[in-house]
Amino acid sequence: MMTNVFPFSPLPVLCTGAIHYDTLAHASEAYRPETSTPAKLTAKPGGVATNIARTLVRLDIPTGLAGAIGADGAGASLSEQLTADGIELYTLERTGFSTGQYIAFHNPDGSLAAASVDDRVLSEAPPDLFDPVFDALPASLKTGLWFIDANLPDQLLKSVSDRAPKGRLVANAVSNSKATRLLPLLPKLHCLMLNRGEALAMTGKSTETSSEDLLRDLQYLGAKRVVLTNGKSDVLVLNVEAITAHKTLATQIVDVTGAGDALTAGTIAGLCRGYHLNDAVPLGLRAAAITLKSTGALAEGLSWDALATLNEI
């Protein structure tokens, strides 16, 4: 039975975090060191918060996006495209910084061979960067569901979490190296979304630790609800005390870019419509499966109707 978590349907979402260009290289043969590899290159908007926002508007969720861009052509182009996507932009232009960029190299089987990111426009931002943005937000976004990614530096994460509506903050750990930034925020989160590597980084436990024990460790550190992924293995959900498992959907893998972000966005879309967390996660898994079949972080076939039909792909 569906349980209402939030009183409105759908709640609007404010995403705060990385906004940058993704350059994706899809090789025609496996990458090898110290030589060039033939590949098809594409460039698209990227960054975890951006991917989440772009997916949410596809799922008919009113969405705002707060982030930092450089005073350059890339920032202007991104702003134009994201506005055209239907996102309400709350970007701050930082003179002297370049707009963030991410480049990923994919093998023919879709696996990630290597990736790099230049996110100094955000990683070197001051703690009060978004204060003017939050002060000017419409009431609906001030009281909606907020999402943050761990691309934000420590003090900026704290500042954003202090402004978030109580009990309506969802976070994504982003990477092993950035996940620990969320540790002080765990008691404030409605839900933490991360993978097994990020959970190991946050808990400091050995690789032999079971995923169930990692969830209990995160609970001990203050987390109330956690969605934990582990590749093709079951997604585990900690919901206050109970741990439940959700099977991933079998699908063709074209590109792994954005699959985790799609899981997060699909789950958030369910929460915004009043779904209980354990009912929302299957929507996220469907979004991830659709995204894995597509090139880039946003699948053309994503829609709320597609998620509502939870058949195997």
**In degrees rounded to 5, what are phi and psi of residue 225?**
-135, 135
Residue 237 lies in a domain: yes
Residue 82 lies in a domain: yes
Secondary structure percentages of the chain, helix, strand, coil, to 5: 35, 25, 40
Distance CA 53, CA 215 (A): 27
Cβ atoms 283, 307 nearer than 8 A: yes
pLDDT per residue over 193-225, tens digit each?
Answer: 999 999 999 999 999 999 999 999 999 999 999
Which CATH number do you get for residue 80? Answer: 3.40.1190.20
Cβ atoms 88, 142 nearer than 8 A: no
Number of H helices, E strands in the chain: 12, 13
Provide the token pair at 160.
């954003």
The pLDDT-based confidence of 313 (bands split at 50, 70, 90) is: very low
Residue 227 lies in a domain: yes
Average pLDDT, the chain: 90
CA 18 from centroid of its chain's CA atoms: 10
Domain span at residue 226 reads 13-19+44-98+127-308
State pTM to two decimals: 0.88
Residue 60 lies in a domain: yes
Residue 158 lies in a domain: yes
Distance CA 300, CA 313 (A): 15
- According to DSSP, the residues that pair with 15 across neighbouring strands are 65, 147
Cβ atoms 294, 254 nearer than 8 A: yes
Provide the token pair at 77.
């182009």
| Residue 216: closest CA among 194, 244, 238 | 238
pLDDT per residue over 126-173, tens digit each?
Answer: 999 999 999 999 999 999 999 999 999 999 999 999 999 999 999 999
Residue 92 lies in a domain: yes
Q: State the pLDDT at residue 1.
A: 42
Q: State the pLDDT at residue 251.
A: 58
* Number of separate domains in the chain: 1
Average pLDDT over residues 184-196: 97
